[in-house]
Structure 1
Amino acid sequence: MSEGVLVLLSVAALEALLSGDNAMVLAVMVRPLPPALRRKALLYGVLGAYLLRGLALLFAVYLVQLWWVQVLGGLYLLYLMRQHFRDQGAKAPPRAQAHGFWRVVLLLNLVDLAFAVDSILAVVAFSQEFLWVFLGVALGVLFIRLLAGSVVAWMEGHPGLERVAYALVGWAGFKLLLEGENALAHLLHRADLAFHLPKPLFWVGTLLILVGGGFLALRRHA
Protein backbone atom coordinates (compact mmCIF):
# COMPACT_ATOMS: atom_id res chain seq x y z
CA MET A 1 0.00 0.00 0.00
CA SER A 2 1.46 3.38 -1.04
CA GLU A 3 2.32 6.07 1.48
CA GLY A 4 -0.34 8.36 -0.05
CA VAL A 5 -3.12 5.81 0.54
CA LEU A 6 -1.97 5.31 4.12
CA VAL A 7 -2.10 9.07 4.68
CA LEU A 8 -5.57 9.17 3.07
CA LEU A 9 -6.99 6.44 5.31
CA SER A 10 -5.28 7.75 8.45
CA VAL A 11 -6.48 11.33 7.94
CA ALA A 12 -10.03 10.14 7.14
CA ALA A 13 -10.12 8.12 10.36
CA LEU A 14 -8.62 11.01 12.36
CA GLU A 15 -11.12 13.50 10.94
CA ALA A 16 -14.05 11.16 11.68
CA LEU A 17 -12.86 10.59 15.26
CA LEU A 18 -12.20 14.27 15.98
CA SER A 19 -15.57 15.27 14.53
CA GLY A 20 -17.58 12.33 15.86
CA ASP A 21 -19.62 14.59 18.12
CA ASN A 22 -20.40 16.73 15.08
CA ALA A 23 -22.82 14.11 13.70
CA MET A 24 -25.32 14.46 16.55
CA VAL A 25 -24.98 18.26 16.49
CA LEU A 26 -25.85 18.30 12.77
CA ALA A 27 -28.75 15.91 13.35
CA VAL A 28 -30.23 18.27 15.94
CA MET A 29 -29.82 21.27 13.63
CA VAL A 30 -31.59 19.74 10.61
CA ARG A 31 -34.33 17.93 12.54
CA PRO A 32 -36.73 20.94 12.63
CA LEU A 33 -36.80 20.92 8.82
CA PRO A 34 -39.43 18.91 6.94
CA PRO A 35 -38.09 15.40 6.17
CA ALA A 36 -37.80 16.18 2.46
CA LEU A 37 -35.45 19.09 3.16
CA ARG A 38 -33.20 17.42 5.73
CA ARG A 39 -31.17 15.42 3.22
CA LYS A 40 -30.91 18.46 0.97
CA ALA A 41 -29.63 20.59 3.86
CA LEU A 42 -27.00 17.96 4.72
CA LEU A 43 -25.97 17.84 1.04
CA TYR A 44 -25.43 21.60 0.95
CA GLY A 45 -23.64 21.22 4.27
CA VAL A 46 -21.26 18.71 2.66
CA LEU A 47 -20.52 21.07 -0.24
CA GLY A 48 -19.95 23.97 2.13
CA ALA A 49 -17.78 21.81 4.39
CA TYR A 50 -15.57 20.78 1.46
CA LEU A 51 -15.08 24.43 0.45
CA LEU A 52 -14.40 25.62 4.00
CA ARG A 53 -12.11 22.68 4.85
CA GLY A 54 -10.14 23.20 1.62
CA LEU A 55 -9.61 26.88 2.44
CA ALA A 56 -8.81 25.97 6.03
CA LEU A 57 -6.12 23.54 4.89
CA LEU A 58 -4.58 26.18 2.61
CA PHE A 59 -4.55 28.78 5.40
CA ALA A 60 -4.06 26.46 8.37
CA VAL A 61 -1.35 28.74 9.77
CA TYR A 62 -3.95 31.49 10.27
CA LEU A 63 -6.74 29.18 11.37
CA VAL A 64 -5.99 29.57 15.06
CA GLN A 65 -6.80 33.28 14.70
CA LEU A 66 -10.45 32.38 14.00
CA TRP A 67 -11.09 32.15 17.73
CA TRP A 68 -14.29 34.16 17.26
CA VAL A 69 -15.72 31.39 15.03
CA GLN A 70 -15.26 28.90 17.86
CA VAL A 71 -16.77 31.30 20.39
CA LEU A 72 -19.81 32.00 18.19
CA GLY A 73 -20.26 28.31 17.40
CA GLY A 74 -19.98 27.38 21.07
CA LEU A 75 -22.44 30.04 22.18
CA TYR A 76 -24.92 28.97 19.50
CA LEU A 77 -24.77 25.31 20.57
CA LEU A 78 -25.27 26.28 24.22
CA TYR A 79 -28.23 28.41 23.11
CA LEU A 80 -29.74 25.42 21.27
CA MET A 81 -29.46 23.25 24.38
CA ARG A 82 -30.96 25.97 26.62
CA GLN A 83 -33.88 26.52 24.24
CA HIS A 84 -34.66 22.82 24.05
CA PHE A 85 -34.70 22.16 27.80
CA ARG A 86 -36.53 25.43 28.49
CA ASP A 87 -39.28 24.43 26.08
CA GLN A 88 -39.64 20.91 27.51
CA GLY A 89 -43.28 20.30 28.37
CA ALA A 90 -44.47 23.16 26.19
CA LYS A 91 -46.30 22.66 22.94
CA ALA A 92 -43.96 21.27 20.30
CA PRO A 93 -42.73 24.06 17.99
CA PRO A 94 -43.79 23.83 14.35
CA ARG A 95 -41.42 22.39 11.80
CA ALA A 96 -39.22 24.92 10.05
CA GLN A 97 -40.51 25.55 6.55
CA ALA A 98 -38.62 26.20 3.32
CA HIS A 99 -37.98 29.85 4.23
CA GLY A 100 -35.85 28.65 7.16
CA PHE A 101 -33.89 26.20 4.99
CA TRP A 102 -31.03 28.53 4.06
CA ARG A 103 -30.73 29.72 7.65
CA VAL A 104 -30.19 26.10 8.72
CA VAL A 105 -27.61 25.58 5.92
CA LEU A 106 -25.75 28.75 6.97
CA LEU A 107 -25.70 27.65 10.62
CA LEU A 108 -24.55 24.15 9.59
CA ASN A 109 -21.50 25.65 7.89
CA LEU A 110 -20.78 28.07 10.74
CA VAL A 111 -20.79 25.26 13.30
CA ASP A 112 -18.81 23.00 10.95
CA LEU A 113 -16.13 25.68 10.61
CA ALA A 114 -16.00 25.98 14.40
CA PHE A 115 -15.35 22.23 14.64
CA ALA A 116 -12.85 22.42 11.76
CA VAL A 117 -10.51 24.73 13.67
CA ASP A 118 -9.70 21.88 16.05
CA SER A 119 -9.55 18.99 13.59
CA ILE A 120 -7.76 20.71 10.69
CA LEU A 121 -4.83 21.76 12.85
CA ALA A 122 -4.48 18.13 13.94
CA VAL A 123 -4.54 16.63 10.44
CA VAL A 124 -2.13 19.27 9.09
CA ALA A 125 0.31 18.32 11.83
CA PHE A 126 -0.19 14.68 10.82
CA SER A 127 0.93 15.14 7.18
CA GLN A 128 2.03 17.91 4.80
CA GLU A 129 0.76 16.17 1.63
CA PHE A 130 -2.07 18.56 0.75
CA LEU A 131 -3.86 16.41 -1.86
CA TRP A 132 -3.98 13.26 0.28
CA VAL A 133 -4.84 15.24 3.39
CA PHE A 134 -7.72 16.99 1.60
CA LEU A 135 -9.08 13.69 0.23
CA GLY A 136 -8.85 12.19 3.71
CA VAL A 137 -10.69 15.16 5.22
CA ALA A 138 -13.32 14.87 2.45
CA LEU A 139 -13.94 11.20 3.30
CA GLY A 140 -14.17 12.03 7.00
CA VAL A 141 -16.69 14.84 6.38
CA LEU A 142 -18.79 12.58 4.13
CA PHE A 143 -18.87 9.90 6.83
CA ILE A 144 -20.04 12.42 9.44
CA ARG A 145 -22.84 13.68 7.15
CA LEU A 146 -24.05 10.14 6.39
CA LEU A 147 -23.97 9.33 10.10
CA ALA A 148 -25.97 12.50 10.85
CA GLY A 149 -28.78 11.28 8.58
CA SER A 150 -28.91 7.98 10.46
CA VAL A 151 -28.94 9.80 13.80
CA VAL A 152 -31.97 11.87 12.69
CA ALA A 153 -33.88 8.69 11.77
CA TRP A 154 -32.89 7.07 15.09
CA MET A 155 -34.10 10.10 17.04
CA GLU A 156 -37.44 10.02 15.21
CA GLY A 157 -38.00 6.43 16.35
CA HIS A 158 -36.78 7.06 19.91
CA PRO A 159 -37.94 10.54 21.03
CA GLY A 160 -36.17 10.24 24.38
CA LEU A 161 -32.82 10.38 22.60
CA GLU A 162 -33.50 14.02 21.71
CA ARG A 163 -32.59 15.07 25.27
CA VAL A 164 -29.36 13.11 25.00
CA ALA A 165 -28.62 14.83 21.69
CA TYR A 166 -29.16 18.30 23.13
CA ALA A 167 -27.06 17.48 26.20
CA LEU A 168 -24.25 16.48 23.83
CA VAL A 169 -24.81 19.66 21.81
CA GLY A 170 -24.34 21.74 24.97
CA TRP A 171 -21.22 19.77 25.92
CA ALA A 172 -19.75 20.33 22.45
CA GLY A 173 -20.65 24.03 22.69
CA PHE A 174 -18.83 24.28 26.02
CA LYS A 175 -15.78 22.66 24.42
CA LEU A 176 -15.79 25.06 21.47
CA LEU A 177 -16.25 28.07 23.74
CA LEU A 178 -13.23 27.08 25.85
CA GLU A 179 -11.13 26.44 22.74
CA GLY A 180 -11.99 29.87 21.35
CA GLU A 181 -11.12 31.53 24.66
CA ASN A 182 -7.89 29.53 24.81
CA ALA A 183 -6.88 30.64 21.29
CA LEU A 184 -7.66 34.28 22.08
CA ALA A 185 -5.62 34.16 25.31
CA HIS A 186 -2.59 32.85 23.42
CA LEU A 187 -2.96 35.46 20.67
CA LEU A 188 -2.93 38.12 23.41
CA HIS A 189 0.07 36.38 25.02
CA ARG A 190 -1.93 35.85 28.20
CA ALA A 191 -1.48 32.15 28.79
CA ASP A 192 -2.50 32.68 32.41
CA LEU A 193 -6.04 33.45 31.20
CA ALA A 194 -6.30 30.35 29.00
CA PHE A 195 -8.78 27.64 29.97
CA HIS A 196 -8.36 24.26 28.32
CA LEU A 197 -10.58 21.18 28.31
CA PRO A 198 -8.29 18.12 28.11
CA LYS A 199 -9.16 15.72 25.31
CA PRO A 200 -9.48 12.68 27.62
CA LEU A 201 -11.90 14.59 29.86
CA PHE A 202 -13.97 15.67 26.85
CA TRP A 203 -14.26 12.12 25.53
CA VAL A 204 -15.10 10.73 28.97
CA GLY A 205 -17.88 13.32 29.27
CA THR A 206 -19.09 12.50 25.75
CA LEU A 207 -19.22 8.76 26.51
CA LEU A 208 -21.04 9.35 29.80
CA ILE A 209 -23.69 11.45 28.03
CA LEU A 210 -24.10 8.97 25.17
CA VAL A 211 -24.02 5.74 27.17
CA GLY A 212 -25.75 6.91 30.36
CA GLY A 213 -28.29 9.16 28.68
CA GLY A 214 -28.91 6.69 25.88
CA PHE A 215 -29.52 3.84 28.34
CA LEU A 216 -32.06 5.91 30.30
CA ALA A 217 -33.80 7.13 27.15
CA LEU A 218 -34.11 3.66 25.63
CA ARG A 219 -35.21 2.18 28.96
CA ARG A 220 -38.03 4.71 29.26
CA HIS A 221 -39.00 4.16 25.64
CA ALA A 222 -39.17 0.39 26.21
Structure 2
Amino acid sequence: MELLSNQAFWIGLAQIIWINIILSGDNAVVIALAARSLEPRQQKQAIFWGTAAAVVLRVALTIVAVKLMQLPWLQLAGGVLLLWIGVQLLNDGDEDENGDEKSHSGLMAAIRTILVADLVMSLDNVIGVAAAANGNMALLVLGLAIAIPIVIFGSTLMIKIMTRYPVIVTLGAALIGWVGGETIVSDKMVEPIVPHHSFGFYAAAVLGAVLVVATGKYLQGRKASSATPA
Protein backbone atom coordinates (compact mmCIF):
# COMPACT_ATOMS: atom_id res chain seq x y z
CA MET A 1 0.00 0.00 0.00
CA GLU A 2 2.88 2.35 0.69
CA LEU A 3 4.04 1.80 -2.88
CA LEU A 4 0.65 2.80 -4.30
CA SER A 5 0.53 5.95 -2.19
CA ASN A 6 3.99 7.01 -3.34
CA GLN A 7 3.79 9.96 -5.73
CA ALA A 8 7.11 9.03 -7.38
CA PHE A 9 5.67 5.59 -8.23
CA TRP A 10 2.73 7.08 -10.14
CA ILE A 11 4.93 9.61 -11.92
CA GLY A 12 7.31 6.83 -12.98
CA LEU A 13 4.40 4.65 -14.12
CA ALA A 14 2.98 7.48 -16.21
CA GLN A 15 6.39 8.05 -17.79
CA ILE A 16 6.81 4.36 -18.69
CA ILE A 17 3.29 4.16 -20.19
CA TRP A 18 3.93 7.30 -22.22
CA ILE A 19 7.29 6.01 -23.45
CA ASN A 20 5.66 2.74 -24.52
CA ILE A 21 2.84 4.54 -26.33
CA ILE A 22 5.39 6.58 -28.28
CA LEU A 23 7.61 3.59 -29.05
CA SER A 24 4.86 1.06 -29.80
CA GLY A 25 4.19 2.39 -33.30
CA ASP A 26 6.99 0.56 -35.10
CA ASN A 27 6.40 -2.58 -33.03
CA ALA A 28 2.72 -2.59 -34.04
CA VAL A 29 3.78 -2.34 -37.70
CA VAL A 30 6.13 -5.34 -37.35
CA ILE A 31 3.45 -7.42 -35.64
CA ALA A 32 0.85 -6.51 -38.27
CA LEU A 33 3.22 -7.35 -41.13
CA ALA A 34 4.16 -10.68 -39.55
CA ALA A 35 0.54 -11.70 -38.90
CA ARG A 36 -1.23 -10.28 -41.96
CA SER A 37 -0.97 -13.46 -44.07
CA LEU A 38 -2.51 -15.68 -41.36
CA GLU A 39 -6.19 -16.53 -41.06
CA PRO A 40 -8.17 -14.28 -38.65
CA ARG A 41 -8.11 -16.73 -35.71
CA GLN A 42 -4.35 -17.19 -35.99
CA GLN A 43 -3.83 -13.46 -36.43
CA LYS A 44 -5.28 -12.94 -32.95
CA GLN A 45 -3.09 -15.71 -31.53
CA ALA A 46 0.07 -14.35 -33.18
CA ILE A 47 -0.66 -10.80 -31.99
CA PHE A 48 -1.43 -11.85 -28.40
CA TRP A 49 1.36 -14.38 -27.84
CA GLY A 50 3.92 -12.44 -29.86
CA THR A 51 3.20 -9.23 -27.93
CA ALA A 52 3.10 -10.92 -24.51
CA ALA A 53 6.37 -12.79 -25.09
CA ALA A 54 7.99 -9.65 -26.49
CA VAL A 55 7.05 -7.67 -23.37
CA VAL A 56 8.53 -10.38 -21.12
CA LEU A 57 11.74 -10.28 -23.14
CA ARG A 58 11.75 -6.51 -22.97
CA VAL A 59 11.59 -6.63 -19.17
CA ALA A 60 14.63 -8.91 -19.13
CA LEU A 61 16.38 -6.72 -21.70
CA THR A 62 15.70 -3.55 -19.72
CA ILE A 63 17.44 -5.01 -16.67
CA VAL A 64 20.71 -5.39 -18.59
CA ALA A 65 20.11 -2.68 -21.22
CA VAL A 66 22.95 -0.36 -20.23
CA LYS A 67 25.53 -3.17 -20.31
CA LEU A 68 24.18 -4.57 -23.59
CA MET A 69 24.43 -1.16 -25.27
CA GLN A 70 28.17 -1.14 -24.54
CA LEU A 71 28.84 -4.37 -26.44
CA PRO A 72 30.61 -3.61 -29.76
CA TRP A 73 28.95 -4.67 -33.01
CA LEU A 74 25.73 -5.77 -31.24
CA GLN A 75 23.54 -3.03 -32.71
CA LEU A 76 25.23 -3.32 -36.10
CA ALA A 77 24.35 -7.01 -36.24
CA GLY A 78 20.85 -6.24 -34.98
CA GLY A 79 20.37 -3.58 -37.66
CA VAL A 80 21.39 -5.98 -40.43
CA LEU A 81 18.96 -8.53 -38.98
CA LEU A 82 16.18 -5.93 -39.09
CA LEU A 83 16.89 -5.23 -42.78
CA TRP A 84 16.57 -8.95 -43.50
CA ILE A 85 13.32 -9.15 -41.50
CA GLY A 86 11.90 -6.20 -43.42
CA VAL A 87 12.61 -7.90 -46.75
CA GLN A 88 11.08 -11.16 -45.55
CA LEU A 89 7.94 -9.47 -44.23
CA LEU A 90 7.43 -7.66 -47.51
CA ASN A 91 7.29 -11.03 -49.27
CA ASP A 92 5.48 -13.17 -46.69
CA GLY A 93 2.05 -12.09 -47.80
CA ASP A 94 2.55 -13.80 -51.17
CA GLU A 95 2.99 -17.27 -49.67
CA ASP A 96 0.12 -19.73 -49.94
CA GLU A 97 -0.45 -21.62 -46.72
CA ASN A 98 -2.50 -24.84 -46.99
CA GLY A 99 -3.14 -27.53 -44.38
CA ASP A 100 -2.96 -27.56 -40.61
CA GLU A 101 0.78 -28.26 -40.49
CA LYS A 102 1.67 -25.32 -42.73
CA SER A 103 -0.84 -23.15 -40.88
CA HIS A 104 0.78 -23.97 -37.54
CA SER A 105 4.21 -23.36 -39.06
CA GLY A 106 3.04 -19.95 -40.28
CA LEU A 107 1.78 -19.03 -36.81
CA MET A 108 5.03 -20.03 -35.10
CA ALA A 109 7.07 -18.22 -37.76
CA ALA A 110 5.04 -15.05 -37.20
CA ILE A 111 5.52 -15.22 -33.41
CA ARG A 112 9.25 -15.87 -33.87
CA THR A 113 9.57 -12.89 -36.23
CA ILE A 114 7.71 -10.64 -33.78
CA LEU A 115 10.03 -11.68 -30.94
CA VAL A 116 13.27 -11.16 -32.87
CA ALA A 117 12.23 -7.85 -34.42
CA ASP A 118 10.91 -6.43 -31.13
CA LEU A 119 14.09 -7.50 -29.35
CA VAL A 120 16.32 -5.74 -31.88
CA MET A 121 14.16 -2.62 -32.17
CA SER A 122 14.03 -2.27 -28.37
CA LEU A 123 17.80 -2.24 -27.78
CA ASP A 124 18.04 1.54 -27.44
CA ASN A 125 14.41 2.23 -26.48
CA VAL A 126 14.50 0.27 -23.23
CA ILE A 127 17.07 2.64 -21.74
CA GLY A 128 14.36 5.30 -21.46
CA VAL A 129 12.06 2.83 -19.73
CA ALA A 130 14.84 1.70 -17.37
CA ALA A 131 15.57 5.32 -16.46
CA ALA A 132 11.88 6.00 -15.72
CA ALA A 133 11.63 2.87 -13.55
CA ASN A 134 14.74 3.94 -11.60
CA GLY A 135 15.45 0.39 -10.43
CA ASN A 136 11.88 -0.33 -9.30
CA MET A 137 11.08 -3.79 -10.74
CA ALA A 138 7.37 -3.64 -9.77
CA LEU A 139 7.06 -0.34 -11.62
CA LEU A 140 8.93 -1.71 -14.64
CA VAL A 141 6.82 -4.87 -14.95
CA LEU A 142 3.51 -3.03 -14.38
CA GLY A 143 4.35 -0.32 -16.91
CA LEU A 144 5.33 -2.80 -19.61
CA ALA A 145 2.30 -5.01 -18.85
CA ILE A 146 0.02 -2.04 -19.47
CA ALA A 147 1.73 -1.66 -22.86
CA ILE A 148 0.39 -5.06 -24.01
CA PRO A 149 -3.20 -3.93 -24.82
CA ILE A 150 -1.83 -0.78 -26.47
CA VAL A 151 0.34 -2.79 -28.88
CA ILE A 152 -2.39 -5.40 -29.46
CA PHE A 153 -4.91 -2.69 -30.40
CA GLY A 154 -2.41 -0.95 -32.65
CA SER A 155 -1.45 -4.21 -34.39
CA THR A 156 -5.08 -5.21 -35.00
CA LEU A 157 -5.84 -1.78 -36.43
CA MET A 158 -2.76 -1.91 -38.67
CA ILE A 159 -3.80 -5.29 -40.14
CA LYS A 160 -7.19 -3.86 -41.08
CA ILE A 161 -5.55 -0.83 -42.69
CA MET A 162 -3.06 -3.02 -44.59
CA THR A 163 -5.90 -5.19 -45.91
CA ARG A 164 -7.71 -2.13 -47.22
CA TYR A 165 -4.65 -0.21 -48.42
CA PRO A 166 -1.88 -2.62 -49.58
CA VAL A 167 0.57 0.28 -50.05
CA ILE A 168 0.79 0.42 -46.22
CA VAL A 169 2.63 -2.93 -46.36
CA THR A 170 5.41 -1.31 -48.41
CA LEU A 171 5.50 1.70 -46.09
CA GLY A 172 5.69 -0.64 -43.08
CA ALA A 173 8.63 -2.52 -44.59
CA ALA A 174 10.29 0.84 -45.31
CA LEU A 175 9.84 1.81 -41.64
CA ILE A 176 11.58 -1.39 -40.53
CA GLY A 177 14.40 -0.64 -42.97
CA TRP A 178 14.64 2.92 -41.59
CA VAL A 179 14.95 1.61 -38.02
CA GLY A 180 17.47 -0.97 -39.22
CA GLY A 181 19.64 1.73 -40.78
CA GLU A 182 19.46 3.83 -37.61
CA THR A 183 20.34 0.81 -35.47
CA ILE A 184 23.44 0.03 -37.55
CA VAL A 185 24.93 3.53 -37.21
CA SER A 186 23.97 3.64 -33.49
CA ASP A 187 26.44 0.85 -32.73
CA LYS A 188 29.15 1.74 -30.25
CA MET A 189 31.85 1.23 -32.90
CA VAL A 190 30.09 3.22 -35.63
CA GLU A 191 28.55 6.10 -33.67
CA PRO A 192 31.85 8.07 -33.36
CA ILE A 193 32.12 8.04 -37.17
CA VAL A 194 28.43 8.77 -37.81
CA PRO A 195 27.11 10.83 -34.86
CA HIS A 196 23.43 10.73 -33.91
CA HIS A 197 21.19 13.16 -35.80
CA SER A 198 23.91 13.98 -38.30
CA PHE A 199 23.42 13.91 -42.08
CA GLY A 200 25.10 10.50 -42.24
CA PHE A 201 22.78 9.16 -39.51
CA TYR A 202 19.63 10.02 -41.46
CA ALA A 203 21.24 9.01 -44.76
CA ALA A 204 21.80 5.53 -43.28
CA ALA A 205 18.15 5.39 -42.21
CA VAL A 206 16.96 6.37 -45.70
CA LEU A 207 19.35 3.88 -47.29
CA GLY A 208 18.00 1.13 -45.03
CA ALA A 209 14.41 1.91 -46.04
CA VAL A 210 15.27 2.03 -49.75
CA LEU A 211 17.31 -1.17 -49.54
CA VAL A 212 14.50 -3.14 -47.89
CA VAL A 213 11.81 -1.96 -50.32
CA ALA A 214 14.00 -2.35 -53.43
CA THR A 215 15.18 -5.83 -52.45
CA GLY A 216 11.68 -6.90 -51.44
CA LYS A 217 10.15 -5.66 -54.72
CA TYR A 218 12.92 -7.36 -56.71
CA LEU A 219 12.27 -10.68 -54.99
CA GLN A 220 8.52 -10.22 -55.52
CA GLY A 221 9.17 -9.70 -59.22
CA ARG A 222 11.30 -12.82 -59.45
CA LYS A 223 8.70 -14.85 -57.61
CA ALA A 224 5.94 -13.61 -59.92
CA SER A 225 8.05 -14.39 -63.01
CA SER A 226 8.82 -17.91 -61.85
CA ALA A 227 5.13 -18.53 -61.07
CA THR A 228 3.96 -17.35 -64.51
CA PRO A 229 3.66 -20.25 -67.01
CA ALA A 230 5.97 -20.01 -70.01
Pick the TM interval, shorter chain: 0.7 to 0.9
- Match of 1:46, as an amino acid? T
Corresponding residue for 1:76?
A: 85
Question: Cα gap change, 1:118/1:165 in structure 2, threshold over 3 Å: closer, same or farther?
Answer: farther
Range that drifts further, 17-26 or 125-134: 125-134
- Match of 1:185, as an amino acid? M
Counterpart of 1:114 (choices 120, 141, 158) is: 120
* Residues 11, 123 of structure 1: 8 Å contact kept: yes
Q: Residues 28-43 of structure 1: matches in 2 within 5 Å?
A: 28-43=33-48
Corresponding residue for 1:153?
A: 160
2:60 and 2:40 map into 1 onto residues whose CA distance is 31
Counterpart of 2:173 (choices 134, 154, 169) is: 169
Corresponding residue for 1:218?
A: none
* Residues 78, 174 of structure 1: 8 Å contact kept: no
Counterpart of 2:17 (choices 3, 12, 16) is: 12
- Match of 1:33, as an amino acid? L
TM norm structure 1: 0.72
2:34 and 2:26 map into 1 onto residues whose CA distance is 13
- Match of 1:77, as an amino acid? G
User: Number of residue pairs matched?
Assistant: 188
Give the gaps of 5 or more residues in structure 2: 210-230
State the identity %. Answer: 19
1:125 and 1:59 map into 2 onto residues whose CA distance is 12
Question: Cα gap change, 1:136/1:70 in structure 2, threshold over 3 Å: closer, same or farther?
Answer: farther
- Greater than 6 Å deviation, 4+ residue runs: none
1:25 and 1:42 map into 2 onto residues whose CA distance is 10
How far has the Cα of 1:55 moved from its partner?
Answer: 0.8
Does 2:149 match 1:142? yes
- Match of 1:63, as an amino acid? L
Give the gaps of 5 or more residues in structure 1: 206-222
Range that drifts further, 118-127 or 55-64: 118-127
1:151 and 1:32 map into 2 onto residues whose CA distance is 13
Corresponding residue for 2:110?
A: 104
TM norm structure 2: 0.70
2:137 and 2:175 map into 1 onto residues whose CA distance is 32
Structure with greater contact order relative to length (CA < 8 Å, sep ≥ 6):
1
* Residues 19, 119 of structure 1: 8 Å contact kept: no
Question: Cα gap change, 1:19/1:118 in structure 2, threshold over 3 Å: closer, same or farther?
Answer: farther
Question: Cα gap change, 1:74/1:15 in structure 2, threshold over 3 Å: closer, same or farther?
Answer: farther
